[in-house]
Each structure stands twice: as C-alpha cells, then as structure tokens.
Structure 1
Amino acid sequence: MKQIITGNKMDSINSYLSFTQKCKRLLFVAGLFMVAGTIQAQENDAELDKLFTWVTANSPGCVCAVSQNGKLVANKAYGVADLERSIPLTTHSVLDAGSVVKQFVAAAVLLLVEEGRLSLTEDIHKYIPELPDYGEKITLDHLLTHTSGIRDWTGLRPLAEGDPDALTLTLRQRGLNFKPGEEWAYSNSGYVLLKEIVARSSGKSFSEFTRKRLFEPLKMMATSYVQDLTGVIKNRALAYKKENDGWKLDMEIGNDRGGGGALFSTASDLVLWNEALAKNSLGAFVTEKLQQPAKLNNGRKLGYGRGLMIDTFRRGGNLVWHSGGAAGYSTLLARLPQYNLSLALMCNADNGARSALAARMFDLYLPSSNTGTATQSNQQPEAVTVDANDKAGLYFNGKTGQPLRLLVNNKALSLAGVGPLLALSADRFKSRGSSLSFLSGANFEMQFRDNSQFEIITSEGEKIPFTRAKGFAPTATELAAFAGKFESNDLGSVMEIVPEKESLQMRFFRNPAKSIKLTAVDKDTFMLAMMTVRFQRNKEGVVTGFLYSNPIVRNIEFTRIN
C-alpha cells in the first residue's frame, strides 16, 4: 500500500534534510579545525624538540611544560636524570626548583594575612623576637618585596666560621645593608624568616602548611616542600655540572643549601600553579598581592611583587616570572597573562641558557599574528659598533662600595657576571635581559659621563653612579700595616691578614689551610673576584679593622683584636 506524503510532511522532511546537511558541514568544518590544530600541535612539538638538540642521550637535560588557554599543550623531557644508572628524565621527574619557591612562601604568608593571623605592616620582631634590634621597623611586606635591607645569607657563608644554617646566620646579623624601604636588594634571608614565621603562626611546619593549603587544593600532587634533602625523594633527578670532558654531581643538600629544605616539583605541576594565578584560584587578595609591584619609601615602583618578578614583555604586556638555581638545578617559571600562555623549564644542569630557551619556547606558542612584532616602546634598539677598550676596568659605587667590572672582548663591552652589553652609542649601553643582584628589573642602561665614571639607569628610572678605581700598588711597608687578626661577631669568625710580596692572604684563624688571596685595587681596598675588603683607620692612620662586602652583602665589620 502506497503511503501518501502530504505537503506538511514533505516540509518537515526537507527541513530535516537541510538540518542534517548543515550539521554535516559544521562537523566537516570542525574536523578541519581539529586537523589544523593537530597539525599545528605536531609542528610545535617538532620545533620544541629542535630547541633541545643540544641534549644527548648521555647528558643531563631539561623537562618543560607549556600551558595555553588553561590547557597543557606541551609536556616533554630531554636527557638523563641519573647518569650512573642511565635513568632518563621523564615528565614525572621532580627537580629542586630553587628560588621559584619564593612565590609559594609569599602565597602562604598572604593566606595567613587574609585570615588575620599575620599583618603585612607589623614589625617582624613580633613574630621572631630573637631577631636583633636594628633600630628600624622591618615589616612582613619589606621581607616579601626584598626591601628589608637584611643581608643575604648566601653572601655571608664564604667567611662564616663552622657550618651554620641560613636561619642561624641571619639571626646573627647586627647590621643591615640599608634602611628598610629605601632600596631593593634580593635577599634569600628575608624568605628564610618568612618560612619560619609561617611555621610559628600556623602551628604547622612549612612543608605541612603548603601541602594542605596550596599543593593538595591545586592538585599539584607531585610537588612538595622537602625539609630533609638527604632523604629519599621519589623520582628525584640528580643535578650535574660539566667539568673538563665529563659530568660531576652538583647538588647542595646540607647547610650550603640553607639547611631548611627545598621545593621539589615537576614542570607540569608548576604550570598548574600558573593557571591557579590566572584563574584567581587562591582568591583575589592573594593573587593580587603576589603580582602587585612593590614601592620604595619614595614612591618609586619596582619590578618585583611578592615572590614574583613583574617585567614588560618584549612584545607588550606583562611578563610575570621567577627563576631558581640550586647548584646544578636551574628552573624558570613564567607567564604572559595577555596571551593566556605560561611555561615551566626545569633543568638538571645549568647551561646558562634558560632565559633564551624560555623566550624561544614562548615564540613557538604565541599567536602567529604577533610573531616578530613588538610595541614601539619595547622594540630592541639598533646596536652600533663602538670601540670600548678605554672603558674596561673596575668601578665602585661610592655609597655602597658595590663593585662592577667591565670587560672588553673584540672591542665589545661586557659586564662581569652579566654578559655582553648592547652598544647604543659610544657612551651608552643597554643590558640584553640579564639582571644585576641589586636591581629589581632585568633591563638597565649604562650611561658614561667620561671614561672614569658612569651611571646605571634602572628600568624604574633610578640612577646609580659608579667611579673607576684609582689603583693601588702598596709597598712592603704599607702591606705590613694590614697584618693582624680581625674578628666579626656577625660571622662568628676570626681572620688573619698575612702580607705577601704584592698581595695579602686572608686566612681563617681556626683553619689556616683555608685562605683567600686579596689583590690591591684601590687605596686600602683589596679584592678577590667580587669580594671586597676595605680597611679602616683611626685618626692616627692605624688600621683598626676592615669592612667585608660582596654583591649581596654590605659592610660586615671585622675589628682588629691584636
């Protein structure tokens, strides 16, 4: 029996067929996008692999992860985690994240501040009463923003007697680098105190507090703050350094590491943390304070928040980041909020290229329309060729005693410990992204007044003057005037100064085999590398002591005791 199809039914069928065709077309287009996305992902993977061709099957390497628009788009490992046992690095390998821990310390403090158990403006002596009285109010916020003036324990250890841990060294200090809030200088000691304050205020160890309040809620299941680095740490990659033609272990697990533990994590867990910051998962107060640029007493805004560097990205917008180094471990965690893009790079041998690697990784995942473009204000200025031979030498900051040594290679100027500088003119140079320990931003310029003096101009506009050392060639009689024993209460050590033919030997009095050769560089001033000893005299011209400084510690006082 034939079925009769009415007009209404035919319209319904036609509508259904039309709808079906549209769905097919949409599915086809969606399929094209999926294929294109897959191809793009494969291309990015291949390009990412090319960035790590320097890693061999028999060398340490790196683990990296990239998150884009809230999704993990890359998670790869290159190289070996344990050379003795030929265990490869994997995406499950955990590495010491070094100073990347600071943003977690800051977050822990801010959680307690939000709960009313701590106050950013409170004097820290309320929480650590055994800290010496410096005659100045130091707040929690000073510690968080590296504006406290508290000396960095890593700069104290070279001359410290015995094997003190970081907290002991910090509590022993009777002086500051500067008045709180007046300057910015990176201080690991400030964060040692903050971890102690979190533990005392919460009633939990820092390890337990961060596990319960940060890592578990954010599903960072491979991340932990490990108190005892000599214990078994599951999936730990060992760290190495290149020496001659081979590799040697390069790990700090005792008081050389501070004695207070370290953050171990995977690259993929670290980008989870970045996503938590992007989504305000820790709450508006904590997230905002972490990324809010700090200010000095004079109102000058810094390139540092609380545990995070806040820089301007070369293509515009903010670059929120922090690096970490611990012996052979090298880590960089960075985020570009305007692109919803973040990455983590963790290596078990420090090859000095993490910043360059991270920049090239970002380039792979940035929108193609922005590739190679830059805002006018962030465009790299064009370099010029100049002869900088007459600028090489040692310079000092008259206020702080901070030394900077300028080197010349093939007429090009470079800064010791930083690297080559970009010449903008015969008297003006620019950093290439590497920072100085006393600057909160990575970018700075160097403007020469003449061949004997220049100014460092920071990214915040501060001008820091440096003057060339005049040189000093002491006679045997002049060298003899420095001989004697000198004691420092801040370091708990006694040093013996012994004159030699054209230099001085500084010996640990309780361990004479351990000594430092000091070379004269200016009147009453001697150096080894970037360690400076400036002798002090009384009104009669007799040497009464000396002040010891290095790039992160100023004016440790040694008094003559014989």
Structure 2
Amino acid sequence: MNSSLFRKLIIITAIGLSPILSNAQNYAEQIDKVFSWVEDGSPGCTCALSKNGEVIFNKAYGVANMETKSPLTANSVLDAGSMVKQFVAAATLLLVDEGKLSLTADIHQYIPELPQYGHKITIDHLMTHTSGVRDWTGIRMFSSQDDDALTMVLRQSELNFPPGTQWSYSNSGFVLLKEIVARVSGKSFGQFVQERLFDKLGMKQTSYTEHPEDIVNRALAYEKRGDSWQLAILEDNDRGGGGALMSTASDLLIWNEALTEGKLGKFVTQKIQEPARLKNGRVLTYARGLFVEEVEVGQLVWHGGSANGYKSVMGRLPKHGLSIAIMCNAGEAADARSAYAGRIFRLFVPKEEISQPEHLITPSAELSADQLNSKTGLFVNEANGDLIQIMSNNGRLAIVGGSLLTAIDENNFSNPQGDIEYRSSDEFKLHFLSNDQFELISMEGNKTLFNRANNEAPTTEELKSLEGNYISEDIKSTFKVTATDSGIIMNLEHAPMQRIPFQQVHKDIFQFRRMTFRFLRDKSGKVVAMEYSNPVLSKVKFIRIE
C-alpha cells in the first residue's frame, strides 16, 4: 500500500467540505454511500468507527462466503495482512521494556545463524524498515524452491543498503522480529501476543494463528476474474510459512484506543509511535509498525494490510478523537480502502480545521510544454546504474514511481513533500545543468549526477554477447538470457515457459516495467555477471556460468 496515499486522500477529500454532520442517521447514511459499490451477493467490507473511544458505527456490507452466501457481519473475522506489523513491534517493545531485548543490540545476538553482512543490524533497524534486509516477497517470485520466509531470509548474503542509511519496506524484518520474540520469550509468537496483548486488552475475536481455516466466523476472500469471483487466500509458504493476524474491525478499534490511551505502558506507547531517523538525521514518516504523519487535519497514525483478496486499513486522527478500521474480502475491488477511510474521516472534521496542502499554497512556476518536455526521459547515474524516469504531468514534471515536482525556474525543481517510498522521504532538488544532465541534491546537500540514458539500439552481436545462464545462490534460481532482434528474453530455468522481454534503456541496462537488469563486465570487457533490482530488491547479483 502506498505510504503517502492515505495522507493524500484525506487532503484531497477534505478540501471544500460541507459542515460536520450533526446526527447519527446522517453519517450512517453517508457511510453507506461509501460502500455502495458492494453488490448483493458479492464480497465486500466491514467498517467500524469510534469517536473519543466510543464506537459510533459498526457495520458490514457483502457476503463472507460465496458458496454458502452467508453474509459479512460486524463479527466477521478477516486476515489483517500487514497490519500485524504494529503488533509485532509492540511485542518486541514489551520485551525491550522488560530488559530482555535491546533496541541497539546486533540481531546476531538473537539469531546467530544469520549471515555476516559486514554491518551491524539492530532490533530497531528491523522495526523501522531501515535494516536493508531483502524483502522475501521479492525473492520468492523467482526462487526455484518452496521455502518459508525465514529460510529465504537466512540465506541472503547481502543487504539492499547499509543499515540506517535508507528506508525500504521489508516484510523480512518482521519475520526476524517474530522469531526473536519467540526465542527470547520461550513462547510462540502467537501465544505471546495472545497473552500479552489480545487477552489483556479484551480483543476477544483477535488471534495470530497458523491455521486461519479453524477460526470461527472467518470470512473468505475473493478476487474478481472476468464475471466471476474466485477464492483468493494465501496459504502455507505463499504467506511466508508463518501465521496470520485474524481480527474484526471493532477489535482493531480497541487496539487503536489502547495506543491513544497509553494502555501498553509509557515506553511502548511512546516508542511505537516515535518517527524513525536515518543515520544522517533525516526524520521519517514511519515509526515502528505504524506510519505517523502530520497532515492538514493533524497527526495521522495508520497502516494498511493486504493478503491476496483481503484488503484492510486502520487509522487514527488523535486530535479529533477519530479512529477507523476497514477490513475487506473483495480483492482489488476494495483496493481503494484508504479512500473510503478518508471519505469517512472527512464527515467528522470541521472545515475550518483543514488547511490547504503546501503545493497549493506555493504554486509551481509556469513553464511551457516545450520547456517541460525537453527535460523528460530516462536518466542514469553512471556510477551505480540507478535510473530516474521523468515525465510531464498536467503542466508539471513528475518522477515515475515517485514525486510530483515543483518548478522553481526552468532549470530547478523541488520535491517539497518527500515520499517515504521514494528515496526515503528525501525532499530533494533537481538542478539541470543541461536538458541531458542534472544534479540531484538531497535535503542534506549531497549531490548525485544523472545523465540522459543512451537508448541507441544495440547490435545483434552486442545482444548475443549477453546470452548465457546466470545463477544466484541467494535467490536459488538461474536465469537464461536469450538474444532477440531488438532485446533479450529472460526466463527462469525452473519455469522455461515464463519468458519476459527486456529492452535496453542504456548501455548494459535492460528494463521490463519496474524490473531492471544491469550486466557487469570484467576489465577485458567480458560479461561476467548481472545485477537485478526491483522496488524491494537492490542489485542482487547473478553470476554467469559457462
């Protein structure tokens, strides 16, 4: 889930609102409209809302089981997906508070079989997504073996980046944290959180279980394929071989209220919501298992979840005493659950307490279409192969997969509202030295040079020189590279029918969508390896084998 999406949707939907609703009937009718897309006899959502700790809305829309046609109810239990991370963080912090763990300790102290990365990774790095540990979900899609998440993580010999220097969402970090909680407490992670969190807080319908199929009132999840709904549930190693957080929307409000009221104790409550910092001092909008952002209606504390057909989001606006949880079983049909939450929050926030976004207060300088288009295209950092794609979007420059830029003048552009999922919330500037070259200047003042990519078509001979098999022991897979008339075909040795076409975008760099391969050469110019990158993996090396 895009980390800035919830924030932006609250901003967008909040501007120009009608006055706050005055009675329960009105807001119930308005919330019903939010879920009017749910059709009779189809999967849908449950939604619970509280104001100042009192549940003022708790309703379900749609069916829990397409075969039996049993309806979703306020007591339906769904898979919360990645919303489990805040519970993992809380469990870890409880042990820290008791002196059984240290936030600054090297994780090898607790999991000694981890590879030696050449860097110290701490418990806090894992909780804040700053560890550099590769996300197992990006590994599994290429692996030839059906391993669980922990096994995949333990064989990664390298990191995406040195710990503490960047932010990158990593499910692997929380796999390791659950293992650490279990080893240190002497209990399974599920047992620990049941006793220390769910039972203590009265979350009677919440559990962490490796057997979701045994849960009473469990709603199944689906995905729309053409005109029909198909079962869409992660099982076994598709979900990492671990368990699932099963809960109801109303139980999640109990959790939100516990954090608001400090029921987990001063240290845990404060630390779980304390924004993380990088080594360079940059403050992030991620804390520990939670996004914490300052938005136009005050502080927003939230997280989303996705587990195949299960889609969920929970959030709080502490200033307004508002708390919401939405849990859905309708797959991509419910992918806009953040928008639903934003629309519902807006019903209760007075218009006079909403300020305009910064980019509306300080408009971008007006540039002609020719001035903007001259700076669009793909740019490469020759030193490490990093790519930046710039496009024109409604009279503004934008970075693909990143930020909308604000023009200062023809050659200078800023990114005043950093996005944590793009360059770790860097509020950078671009200074164009020419239409074919720019400096990216970080908010700390570091400069990185990017040149326009040379997309001159490679010759047949050049493409042929790339052919061969490339193996990664970390990923447990082998790629076969085959030249075509205009590019290369990649296919996994264990899945030969899955052929992916890659096009050269710069010398020795090939792309398909958001996947990138960069071929590496020895001093003689011979190709000896290639590096693979995607949004959650960075420069995974595959060695060429004869």
TM-score tier (shorter): 0.7 to 0.9
Check whether the contact 1:314–1:378 (CA below 8 A) recurs between aligned residues: no
Contact 2:79 2:245 in 1 (8 A): yes
1:60-116 deviation line (CA, Å, top 9, x unaligned): 222111111110111121222222332222111122211111110000000011111
Residue 288 of structure 1 aligns with an amino acid whose one-letter code is: Q
- SS state of the match for residue 356, structure 1? helix
TM-score by length of 2: 0.86
Change in 2 beyond 3 A, CA 1:329/1:140: same
Question: Which position in structure 1 is the counterpart of 2:230?
Answer: 248
Shift of 1:515: 3.2
Using the TM superposition, name which of 168-177 and 383-392 deviates more.
383-392
Q: 1:561 to 1:378 in 2, by over 3 A?
A: closer
Instruction: Give 3-state SS (helix, strand or coil) of 2:332's partner.
Output: coil
Given candidates 509, 530, 533, the residue that maps to 1:525 is: 509
Does 1 or 2 have the higher relative contact order (CA < 8 Å, sep 6+)?
2
Matched, 1:137 2:120: yes
Aligned residue identity for 1:335: R
* Matched residue type, 2:113: E
* Cα shift at 1:540: 0.8
Q: Is the 8 A contact 1:309 1:440 kept in 2?
A: no
Tell me the SS of whatever aligns to 1:159. coil
RMSD of aligned residue pairs (Cα, Å): 3.1
Letter in 2 for 1:245: D
Deviation at 1:491, TM superposition (A): 1.0
Contact 1:438 1:552 (C-alpha < 8 Å) held by counterparts: no
Q: Which has the larger radius of gyration?
A: 1
Cα distance change of structure 1 residues 333 and 491 upon mapping to structure 2, 3 Å threshold = same
Q: Which residue number corresponds to residue 244 of structure 2?
A: 262
CA contact (8 A) 2:471 2:544 kept: yes
- Residue 474 of structure 2 aligns with which residue? 490
Aligned pair 1:535/2:519, yes or no? yes
CA distance in 2, matches of 1:298, 1:389: 34
Cα distance in 2 for residues equivalent to 1:538 and 1:109: 45
CA separation of 1:552/1:466 partners in 2, compared to 1, >3 Å: closer, same or farther?
farther
Q: TM-score, normalised by structure 1?
A: 0.84
| Worse-matched range after superposition: 390-399 or 47-56 | 390-399
Q: What's the offset of the Cα at 1:520?
A: 1.4
Asked if the contact 1:240–1:247 (Cα under 8 Å) also holds between the matched residues in 2, the reply is yes
SS at match of 1:90: coil
Question: Match for 1:470: what amino acid?
Answer: N
Q: Tell me if the contact between 1:446 and 1:454 (Cα under 8 Å) persists in the aligned partners.
A: no
Superposed, 1:235-314 pairs within 5 Å as 235-314=217-296
- How far 1:355 moved relative to its partner? 2.3
Q: Structure 1 300/417 Cα, relative in aligned 2: closer, same or farther at 3 Å?
A: closer
**Between 361-370 and 547-556, the greater mean CA deviation after superposition:** 361-370
Which AA in structure 2 matches 1:165?
D
Q: Is the 8 A contact 2:396 2:407 kept in 1?
A: no
Q: 1:341 aligns with which of 322, 346, 349?
A: 322
Q: Is the 8 A contact 1:167 1:193 kept in 2?
A: yes
Q: Map residues 177-256 of structure 1 onto 2, 5 A cutoff.
A: 177-229=160-212, 231-256=213-238
Q: Offset at 1:430?
A: 8.7
Aligned-partner SS, 1:471:
coil
Cα offset, 1:38, TM superposition: 11
Q: Deviations over 1:201-245 (max 9, x none)?
A: 11111111111110111111111112234x333222222233333
Q: What is the aligned counterpart of 2:355 among 374, 378, 395?
A: 374
Q: For 1:518 and 1:280, how far apart are their aligned partners in 2?
A: 52
Change (3 A) 1:444 1:168: same
Find the residue that maps to 2:58 and give its secondary structure: strand
Which residue number corresponds to residue 150 of structure 1? 133
Counterpart amino acid of residue 194 in structure 2: R
Q: Does 1:549 align with 2:533?
A: yes
- Mapped partners of 1:223, 1:294: distance in 2: 28
8 Å contact kept, 2:296–2:357: no
Q: Which residue of 2 aligns with 1:70?
A: 53
Structure 2, unpaired ranges of 5+: 1-19
Cα distance 1:448–1:268, how it changes in 2: closer, same or farther (>3 A)? Answer: farther
Distance 1:189 1:456, change over 3 A: farther
Partner amino acid, structure 2, of 1:518: F
Q: Percent same amino acid at aligned positions?
A: 49
Question: Relative to structure 2, which stretch is displaced further, 149-158 or 392-401?
Answer: 392-401
Q: SS of the residue aligned with 2:347?
A: helix
Which stretch of the first structure deviates more once superposed, 124-133 or 386-395?
Answer: 386-395
Q: Deviations over 1:231-268 (max 9, x none)?
A: 33322222223333333333221322211122111111
User: Do structure 1's residue 160 and structure 2's residue 163 form an aligned pair?
Assistant: no
Q: 1:451 to 1:163 in 2, by over 3 A?
A: farther
CA shift in 2, pair 1:226/1:513, >3 Å: same
The 2-side partners of 1:386 and 1:410 are apart by 11
Which amino acid is 1:529 matched to? R
Distance (Å, rounded) in 1 between the aligned partners of 2:327 and 2:235: 18
Q: CA deviation at 1:409?
A: 7.0
